[in-house]
Structure 1
């Protein structure tokens, strides 16, 4: 919205915003303020919606990272919830649109469960924290579904590239419903405390006292195993 000029005023006033700006530096020679009229902007926004705003964002972001030599080897994935106030009507299936996000009650990460919300997913580069992908979800969407869909999308994307890529996320990534896609990715995550095998390895490590010392405060053990039919390396730290 800020890129269009006046973020809180009608699109018809956008040419006024660009009137005194160096258009040849911001865009290219031959571009002038009058090109940013409401008709051109309206058609462009329609095309963005048809193409998919999230897909367009990813394409622009990855191109920018290539131009600026941003290292995208490690990608960090997480979600957050945005609480909203006001009355939001529920649309019927006949009136719904595939791009509509349903603002509704869900698990509130902002500790405001009495408010309706939307869930936002973002994946960023470890190098500089550059947003690589962003998608909004219904307010009651579970993290496991978000992470599963993102893992599936990353598998498809990596088919067309030879560069190594590592997905970093919290324990919601490590779920049996994601195993099909995790087996095709290289990932780093926390293990859910509900996994009995993890507790078994920790108990065995404590009993054997076979820890690798890092310093006076930290130590770890490493276990190579197969879980969910995926060869893995588990590191227990204490």
Structure 2
């Protein structure tokens, strides 16, 4: 992910992407085969877990991981991160909201200059609190 982010930031330096609207979403990535956790030293953290989770593709028999992306300038990914296969969009939104202002500020975005666009998973009490003064566009959940 460090390489992905470095490439995205370099592309932004060359093409000066429009960061007024930042769009966040996740995608489930299904995998086939066995994915047992390797023997890890106790001081090394596993970045994400391939496991069963809510399958958007209606394939609960397959394991998956979730890939979260933040896009700018009409769907150009500028940040991405793999998450556990059973990660909730609501939780991943909250994690990103705590770092988005810092990330965009480091890469040319002025504080409060972006509007956060996300799906209905954004609408939780914790996420709305984390938004603070950040403007957002979303839809209300059906639940």
Bin for the TM-score computed over the shorter chain:
0.7 to 0.9
Distance 1:138 1:155 in 2: 24
Map residues 98-113 of structure 1 onto 2, 5 A cutoff.
Answer: 98-113=45-60
TM-score by length of 1: 0.53
Question: Residues 49-70 of structure 1, C-alpha deviation per residue, up to 9 Å, x if partnerless?
Answer: xxxx34x433431332232132
Question: Residues 142-184 of structure 1, C-alpha deviation per residue, up to 9 Å, x if partnerless?
Answer: 1111111111111333566426111101010111121332113
Structure 1 residue 119 corresponds to structure 2 residue 54: no
Aligned length in residues: 140
Structure 1 residue 162 corresponds to structure 2 residue 99: no
Structure 1 residue 181 corresponds to structure 2 residue 130: yes
Q: 1:93 to 1:178 in 2, by over 3 A?
A: farther
Question: Match of 1:139?
Answer: 85
Higher Cα Rg, which structure: 1
Map residues 9-28 of structure 1 onto 2, 5 A cutoff.
Answer: none
Residue segments in structure 1 that go unaligned for 5+ positions in a row: 1-52, 195-238
Q: Higher helix fraction: Structure 1 or Structure 2?
A: 1
Distance 2:95 2:22 in 1: 15
Residue segments in structure 2 that go unaligned for 5+ positions in a row: none
Q: 1:108 to 1:166 in 2, by over 3 A?
A: same
Q: Which has the higher contact order (CA 8 A, sep 6+)?
A: 2
Shift of 1:91: 4.7
Contact 1:155–1:181 at 8 Å: present in 2 too? no
TM-score by length of 2: 0.83
